[in-house]
Amino acid sequence: MSQLLPLVLLFVLMYFILIRPQQQKQKAQRLSQSQISDGDQVVSSGGIYGRVTQVATDKVWVEIAPDIEVVFARTALSRLNPSIPADEFEPAESGYEEDLHAPDDLSGLDLHDTGEHKDELPTAESDKDEEDGPARS
Give tens-digit pLDDT for 102-125.
Answer: 556 666 666 565 555 555 655 655
Whether the predicted pLDDT of 98 surpasses 60 = no
Q: What is the layout of strands, in order, in the sheet containing 68-73?
A: 68-73, 59-65, 49-55, 41-44, 77-79
Quote the CA–CA distance of 55 and 77 in Å, as a whole number: 12
Structure letter (DSSP) for residue 133:
S
Quote the CA–CA distance of 15 and 23 in Å, as a whole number: 10
Q: Are 48 and 70 in contact (CB under 8 A)?
A: yes
**59 pairs with which residues across the strands?**
73
Q: How large is the average pLDDT for residues 63-68?
A: 92
